[in-house]
């Protein structure tokens, strides 16, 4: 019994990891999603209040009609009154349920949409840090459907241009070093230039 209970325990760890993967910048994503959900809640609540008041108004009108018909069977009147009140409760529960579903749907949609924006921004920050550390390399690409595709492509083009320029400079250094050696300049004298060449090459590897 205990083994079976453990075997069907929900994988909360995996679910939490998936949630963390979507919340790359939780402060921005939750703030944006909260604003959208908040505005929607206000508008939906106002519309729901209007619809509920309309339903209650119809029930009150029915009660007035029942009151001005003294010859109406009391059981029928009670049944109609109960029906009106039940309809009001169903209307209220429907409004609250609709608002809840709308909130959950918009919350999930907001997280997914902001993830498509924050994910590329997060990746580009890491690539910028890589380039800033001296490595002129862009590995991988954005996922299909991510935002900032044009910005990422422009960044990729910039890095490719810098790599090409630096590769040309390394080639020029190689040629200059080879020419200097043919003129009898010692390796010791060329050591600073060789170190510079190796450091520039390491940024391309």
Write down the pLDDT at residue 20: 64
Task: State pLDDT tens for residues 109-131.
Answer: 888 888 888 878 878 888 888 88
Per the model's pLDDT, the better-predicted residue between 64 and 170 turns out to be 170
Domain range summary for the chain, segments of one domain joined by + = 17-133, 136-205
Q: Over 80: is that where the pLDDT of 74 sits?
A: no
Other Cβ atoms within 10 Å of 131 Cβ, number: 17
Average pLDDT of the chain? 79
**Packing angle of the helix pair 26-67, 74-132 (nearest 10 deg):** 170
* Nearest of 161, 159, 169 to residue 134 by alpha carbon: 159
Q: In whole angstroms, give the CA distance from residue 54 to residue 171.
A: 81
Q: Over 50: is that where the pLDDT of 69 sits?
A: yes
Residue 138: pLDDT band (50, 70, 90) is: confident
Task: State pLDDT tens for residues 15-29.
Answer: 454 656 677 777 888
Write down the pLDDT at residue 177: 87
Task: State pLDDT tens for residues 180-202.
Answer: 888 888 878 888 888 888 888 88
Q: In whole angstroms, give the CA distance from residue 10 to residue 202.
A: 48
Write down the pLDDT at residue 18: 61
**Packing angle of the helix pair 149-182, 74-132 (nearest 10 deg):** 10
């Amino acid at each position: 019994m205990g083994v079976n209970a453990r075997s069907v325990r929900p994988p909360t760890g995996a679910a939490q990891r998936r949630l963390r993967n979507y919340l790359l910048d939780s402060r921005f994503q939750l703030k944006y999603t909260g604003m959208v959900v908040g505005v929607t809640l206000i508008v939906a609540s106002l519309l729901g209040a209007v619809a509920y008041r309309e339903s209650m108004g119809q029930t009150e009108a029915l009660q007035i009609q029942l009151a001005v018909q003294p010859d109406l069977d009391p059981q029928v009147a009670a049944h109609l009154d109960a029906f009106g009140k039940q309809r009001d409760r169903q209307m209220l529960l429907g409004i609250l349920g609709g608002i809840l579903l709308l909130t959950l749907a918009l919350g999930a949609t907001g997280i997914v949409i902001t993830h498509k924006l924050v994910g590329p921004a997060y990746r580009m920050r890491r690539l910028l840090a890589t380039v800033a550390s001296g490595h002129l390399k862009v590995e991988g690409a954005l996922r299909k459907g991510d935002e900032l595709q044009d910005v990422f492509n422009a960044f990729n083009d910039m890095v490719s241009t810098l790599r090409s320029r630096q590769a040309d400079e390394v080639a020029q250094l190689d040629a200059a070093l080879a020419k200097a050696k043919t003129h009898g300049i010692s390796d010791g004298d060329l050591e600073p230039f060789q170190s510079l060449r190796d450091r520039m090459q390491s940024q391309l590897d």
